[in-house]
């Protein structure tokens, strides 16, 4: 009778040790002094990855990567997107307007219809992407550009919480 008890204790011990290891996550919000390019330019560098909160269910948890270079004055944002069932990559470039100890504010005003604003909050470790329309009304391509919501860059915990909430809603 003691053998099953020992087996249960062993299984419990294995789970107790395995769960904290599995719960560890990679660093998805990183700031450091780096040197870049052939000219070896020193700069403050920001890097983050995750998934935008408004991305579809078929988009992976590491579908967005952001890199910002303070001295160079820009941020690159690479996104995996799904168009007609096919995976594609979109690379956007944002001009840094402000970078201080609390936040980065960068904008992309190159699209015809919208101005996109990337905000990195160093205090809360939160990245948001919002858009506002430029008031272009005659271009049919711009229809609906005034209804774009703000997206938040989700990490592992946010993605897991969303999946649980969706599963609960289906019941």
Q: What is the pLDDT along the chain (171 residues), one digit of tens a residue?
A: 444 554 444 444 444 444 333 333 445 889 999 999 999 999 999 999 999 999 888 888 899 999 999 999 999 999 998 888 888 999 999 999 999 999 999 999 887 788 999 999 999 999 999 988 887 767 777 776 667 789 999 988 888 888 888 888 887
Distances (CA, A) of 81 to 52, 60, 106, 114: 10, 10, 21, 19
Residue 111 DSSP label? S
Q: Give me the half-sphere count of Cα atoms (radius 13 Å) on the Cβ side of residue 1.
A: 0
Position 91 scores a pLDDT of 94
Residue entry with tokens 């329309």: 133
Closest CA to 109 of 135, 87, 88: 135
Q: For the chain, count helices (H), then strands (E).
A: 2, 9
């Amino acid at each position: 009778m003691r053998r099953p008890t020992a087996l249960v204790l062993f299984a419990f011990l294995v789970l107790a040790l395995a769960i904290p290891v599995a719960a560890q996550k990679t660093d998805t919000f990183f700031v450091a002094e780096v040197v870049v390019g052939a000219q070896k330019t020193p700069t403050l560098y920001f890097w983050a990855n995750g998934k935008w909160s408004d991305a579809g269910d078929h988009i992976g948890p590491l579908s967005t990567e952001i890199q910002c270079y303070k001295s160079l004055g820009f941020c690159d944002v690479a996104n995996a997107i799904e168009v007609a069932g096919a995976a594609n990559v979109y690379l956007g470039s944002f001009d840094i307007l402000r970078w201080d100890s609390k936040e980065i504010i960068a904008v992309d005003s190159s699209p015809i219809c919208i101005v996109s604003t990337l905000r990195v909050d160093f205090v809360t470790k939160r990245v948001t992407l919002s858009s506002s329309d430029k008031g272009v009304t005659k271009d049919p391509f711009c229809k609906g550009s005034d209804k774009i919501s703000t997206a938040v860059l989700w990490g592992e915990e946010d993605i897991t919480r969303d999946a649980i909430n969706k599963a609960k809603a289906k019941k």
